[in-house]
Amino acid sequence: MVWCPDWSVVAALEEAEASPRSPAAVLSANVVEVCNGPARSEGVRRGQRRRDAEARCPGLLVLPTNPDRDARAFEPVLATVEDLRPGVASLRPGLLAVRAPGSWYGTEEEAAATVCQALVETGVWDVRIGIADDLFTAEQAARTAKVQSWEVVAVGGSAPFLRGLPVHVLEGDGPQGRELVSLLQRLGLRTLGDLADLPGAAVEHRLGLYGAEVRRRARGEDAALFGARTPPPELDAEVAFEPPLDSVEAITFSVRTTAERFVTQLAHHQVVATGVRIEAEAEGAVCSSRTWLHPRHFSARDLVDRVHWQLQSSTVGGSLRSAKDSGAVRAPIDRVRFLPEVVEPAAAHGEALWGAASDDLVERGVARIQGMVGFDAVRRPVLQGGRSPSARQSLVPWGERPVDLRPLDRPWPGRVPGPAPVRVFATPPAAEVVDDAGREVRVSDRGVVTGEPRRFRVGGGVLPWQPVTAWAGPWPTDEGWWADGVGLSARFQVVGADGRAWLLLRAPDGWSLEAGYD
């Protein structure tokens, strides 16, 4: 067992950027959950109410409980021990179990010294290690050890070691343990040996299943096992250039083998990458980094193309140029790295029954065009939420997964109902709409139409007037009222005498033709 005392307080003080020597306590529901050594020296104890704790220590730093924060802060400790001995299990933040690696380091004492040294080098100063036959005894051995030290219980010596320990050690089990400790003290049982000497049937009858389990622990018969976590596979791939390369074409050619190895090792773990971060290093520092997303999954050729596009955007005339505060490359590249950011099961991206040859041909053709005109120059439309037809369109570079789109499942008040128009004008032409008297049709602040649309024309008088045979609306919206020319607007569907339907927009600055139902 590797125990880092008061871990919740350590993690909270680090997050608050406070001194680790400050008296502090982590509270939950106004009750002290964990306190550190300086607070205990002032009389603060676990289970005290906040008022009593602050009365004993006026300078007490009160910190909120946050299990996620504690787990995140404990992850480097797990990783450090895992580097020395795989098969680490995190029992809770601040306490981990691992099979004793004594045979790897000579003796168990030498293994404990190696673990202590590694953790101290990472900045964990208060670390204590216990080695025993079972989890409970190993934890109690760690709690009796000194700072940056260890306690080894001989094989078969769990019961004698536990007999002299006070029943207070059970308070680590939480409220249930504190309640049992209070009951044992009222019964006159002061040590774990006193509890271990009682008949098992009587203990289970009086203290229940938890009491019987504690008695078995006190007798050194703890059979609890732990599930060691499997270290995550190393999926990154990188290639170093010696000497560094200053040509995009040379770099692109040199990363092909690495890209193939990257995809192959993903396939070995039966996963594919749909999001990859590509980093380029110059003079030992990352000078170009970008996360690429793929609508399906990356192949080796896709990764090579992304490297080319990423570095080409930072070049002039094929040579890497210098740029300041722009993410561009400042010097010849000496390393390129592929890091998977989004991986998914390969089974979810299997090919159809007859393969996907046609899709591959299309993607290859588009990728070739992108290589000639640029990655961002080839785009595809995707649908997103919005009120107007133009707002519901978004253009995404081909091969890039759409992100940050407005959701489609929102109500979007003021949206024109279907069917959707066939043609949406990128620059809506000006239009005019009048009523029977030839007056311009307007929409009041309450969304009321001032007159029935009878005629309309497009192009500011270039085209002739056309009678309105049918119309629907208005669908008012009030968007961007703080900007010039934007505010209360309304959309109308009109059908001309030639049978063609149009979507007209009445904005504060006049009418425009927004879309057509060809």
Of 510, 517, 513, the C-alpha closest to 495 is 517
Query: Strand ranges (DSSP E) for 71-161?
Result: 89-92, 95-97, 128-131, 149-152
Strand duo 319-320 + 315-316: pairing: antiparallel
pLDDT digits (tens, 9 = 90+) for 240-267: 998 888 888 889 999 999 999 999 999 8
Q: Is the dihedral of CA 188, 194, 196, 200 positive or negative?
A: negative
Query: What one-character-per-residue DSSP string does 463-505 give?
Result: SPPEEEEEEEEEEEEE--TTSTT-SEEEEEEEEETTS-EEEEE
Q: Please tell me the predicted confidence (pLDDT) of residue 513.
A: 87
Query: Strand ranges (DSSP E) for 171-236?
Result: none
Rounded-to-integer distance, Cα 179 and Cα 196, Å:
18
Q: Please tell me the predicted confidence (pLDDT) of residue 318.
A: 41
- Please give the average per-residue pLDDT across 486-495, as a whole number: 83
Give me the residues paired with residue 374 across strands.
none
pLDDT digits (tens, 9 = 90+) for 262-297: 999 998 888 888 889 999 998 888 888 888 888 788
Higher pLDDT, 500 or 363: 500
Q: Please tell me the predicted confidence (pLDDT) of residue 316.
A: 39
Cα-based angle 240, 245, 249 (whole degrees, multiple of 5) = 110
- Please give the average per-residue pLDDT across 190-203, as a whole number: 88
pLDDT digits (tens, 9 = 90+) for 76-116: 999 898 888 888 888 889 999 998 876 677 788 888 999 99
Domains of the chain with CATH codes: 2-132 (3.40.1170.60), 158-218 (1.10.150.20), 237-365 (3.30.1490.100), 423-517 (no CATH)
Higher pLDDT, 171 or 218: 218
Can you count the helices (H) and strands (E) in the chain? 15, 23
pLDDT grade for 309, boundaries at 50, 70 and 90 = confident
149: left (phi over 0), alpha (psi -120 to 50) or beta: beta
pLDDT digits (tens, 9 = 90+) for 496-507: 888 888 888 888
Q: Please tell me the predicted confidence (pLDDT) of residue 352.
A: 52
Mean pLDDT across the chain: 84
pLDDT digits (tens, 9 = 90+) for 320-337: 443 333 334 557 899 999
* Among the ranges given (212-216, 326-330, 438-442), the one the predictor scored with the smallest mean pLDDT: 326-330
- Please give the average per-residue pLDDT across 134-147, as a whole number: 90
- Please give the average per-residue pLDDT across 133-137, as a whole number: 89
Would the pTM count as exceeding 0.75?
no
- Please give the average per-residue pLDDT across 476-496, as a whole number: 76
